[in-house]
């Protein structure tokens, strides 16, 4: 339909002939006049058709419309400030039902999230849900733009691996001809290979997989991971500085492009964080939440979800900030490739980034010295032979480097005030969901 006009582009046009297409959202089939709300990917418009004496083909077609049917309409655009939906309407002259819907819709506005996900293609017709993925597009584009403008190279790493990147316990095994492959839970090793290759600065936005049987609002078995890695750093401070800068660019772009619509449809204000983000060593963060009445159950463990919420409350009160870097994690709870403090090998040059009470990212300076790296592999009880392809990078020289991995759906969930990453993932995959 070459002359189709997007609904969002109708308002500036003069009164006169116009053609639109979309799906039927509502029908009011009255005795003297018929009204249809038609929605496309850009917005909604009211269609009106005075009913003739004795129904004609068009009025009969409108009477028979099932909600959700896709139609083409030709008619006359009219500006009328009395029309609540945008101050415009289209007087229908012809209507073509391109694809009729079944009369009964399988989901409603109050359907459970699981039922809505069963019919995700219908769920995404909701303007609120569609907005989430417009925001996602803008956010990803802004991240990419920032990285490209700062000399980063975009890479696409393989998702089939011959050996585990971190813990085999959280890997999906896949039959691969005469052997076994693993679905990558992170592009970690390949990001580091790019440093050995002399790329200097790289990024990737791609799928990752984690065989974690969690049913929380923030876990998925397949997710979009946002990753970056940079060479010639002095410490994890350089990684954090890059991380916060690229996030600010993403949030600024979302606020500019979608801020008003997010506020109108979601009741959420897109807040661009100031830099630098607050930084608190993990040990001190645990002390702070303990002083505020909560003790993290295991002293030798990561901050748990309740601790993350408590430290975020503290940061919001003390710094007026939604983000906080928790730094200097214990060696015992970090992977073998995190660089350890020069003056305290019990701690690593690493961080988690907490946003509004939820961890969204892990970053660190990596260990680039092969002899030290081998010691750390053995210290973690891993077999260097299983990591030989990875370790080979370091036998030919790698500069000091570091980076982060960040869950895209978690960032969007928290930015937009959604209750679960099921809402901010196009098609969610979890322990009990493999469809649609």
Confirm or deny that 410 is annotated as ligand binding.
yes
**Does residue 203 contact residue 225 with C-beta atoms inside 8 Å?**
no
Confirm or deny that 366 is annotated as ligand binding.
yes
Residue spans of alpha helices (H) in 267-363:
282-291, 305-319
Confirm or deny that 120 is annotated as ligand binding.
no
Confirm or deny that 409 is annotated as ligand binding.
yes
Confirm or deny that 292 is annotated as ligand binding.
no
Q: Is 97 helix (H, G, I), strand (E, B) or coil?
A: strand
**Does residue 44 contact residue 38 with C-beta atoms inside 8 Å?**
yes
Confirm or deny that 10 is annotated as ligand binding.
no
Where are any strands of DSSP class E within 54-170? Answer: 70-79, 88-99, 153-154, 160-161
* Listed residue (40, 27, 128) closest to 86, CA to CA: 40
Query: What DSSP assignment string belongs to 4-23?
Result: B--GGGSTTSPSEEEEEEEE
Confirm or deny that 166 is annotated as ligand binding.
yes
Is the CA virtual torsion 21, 27, 28, 31 positive or negative? Answer: positive
The torsion angles phi and psi of 103, rounded to 5 degrees, stand at -70, -30
Confirm or deny that 408 is annotated as ligand binding.
yes
Give the C-alpha separation, 146 to 241, whole Å. 13
Torsion of CA 65, 66, 67, 68, to 10 degrees: -100
Determine the angle formed by the axes of helices 408-415 and 127-149, rounding to 10 degrees.
120
Confirm or deny that 407 is annotated as ligand binding.
yes
Give the C-alpha separation, 205 to 75, whole Å. 44
* Listed residue (79, 68, 95, 83) closest to 10, CA to CA: 79
Give the C-alpha separation, 216 to 155, whole Å. 31
Pairing of the two strands 350-355 and 323-327: antiparallel
Distance of CA 118 to the CA centre of its chain: 20
Give the C-alpha separation, 166 to 174, whole Å. 17
Q: Which residues contribute to the annotated binding site for ATP?
A: 359, 407-410
Q: Which residues contribute to the annotated binding site?
A: 166, 210, 359, 362, 366, 407-410
Q: Which residues contribute to the annotated binding site for L-aspartate?
A: 166, 210, 362, 366
């Amino acid at each position: 339909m070459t002359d189709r006009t997007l609904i969002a582009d109708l308002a500036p046009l003069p009164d006169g002939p116009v053609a639109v297409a979309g799906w039927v959202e509502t029908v009011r089939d009255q005795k003297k006049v018929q009204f249809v709300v038609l929605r496309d990917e850009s917005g909604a418009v009211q269609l009106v058709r005075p009913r003739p004496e004795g129904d004609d083909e068009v009025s009969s077609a409108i009477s028979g419309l099932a909600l959700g049917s896709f139609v083409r309409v030709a008619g006359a655009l009219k500006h009328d400030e009395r029309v609540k939906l945008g101050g415009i309407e289209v007087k229908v002259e012809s209507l073509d039902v391109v694809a009729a819907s079944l009369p009964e819709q399988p989901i409603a506005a109050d359907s459970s999230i699981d039922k809505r996900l069963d019919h995700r293609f219908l769920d995404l017709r909701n303007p609120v849900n569609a907005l989430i993925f417009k925001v996602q597009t803008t956010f990803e584009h802004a991240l990419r733009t920032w990285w490209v403008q700062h000399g980063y190279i975009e890479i696409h790493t393989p998702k089939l691996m011959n050996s585990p990147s971190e813990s085999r316990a959280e890997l999906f095994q896949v039959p691969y001809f005469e052997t076994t492959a693993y679905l990558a839970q992170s592009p970690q090793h390949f990001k580091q290979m790019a440093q050995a290759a002399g790329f200097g600065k790289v990024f990737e936005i791609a799928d990752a997989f984690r065989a974690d049987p969690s049913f929380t609002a923030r876990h998925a078995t397949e997710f979009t991971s946002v990753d970056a890695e940079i060479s010639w750093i002095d410490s994890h401070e350089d990684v954090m500085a890059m991380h916060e800068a690229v996030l600010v660019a993403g949030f600024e772009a979302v606020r500019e492009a979608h801020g008003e619509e997010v506020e109108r449809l979601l009741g959420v204000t897109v807040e661009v964080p100031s830099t630098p983000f607050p930084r608190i060593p993990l040990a001190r963060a645990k002390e702070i939440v303990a002083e505020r009445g909560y003790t993290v159950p295991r002293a030798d463990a990561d901050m748990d979800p309740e601790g993350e919420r408590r430290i975020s409350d503290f940061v919001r009160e003390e710094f007026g900030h939604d983000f906080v870097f928790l730094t200097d994690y214990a060696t015992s709870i970090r992977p073998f490739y995190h660089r350890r403090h020069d003056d305290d090998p019990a701690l690593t040059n690493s961080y988690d980034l907490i946003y509004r009470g939820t961890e969204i990212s892990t970053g660190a300076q990596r260990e680039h010295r092969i002899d030290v790296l081998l010691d750390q592999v053995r210290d973690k009880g891993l077999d260097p032979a299983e990591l030989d392809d990875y370790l080979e990078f370091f036998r030919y020289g790698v500069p000091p480097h570091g980076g982060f991995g960040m869950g895209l759906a978690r960032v969007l969930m928290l930015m937009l005030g959604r209750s679960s990453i099921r809402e901010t993932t196009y098609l969610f995959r979890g322990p009990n969901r493999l469809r649609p």
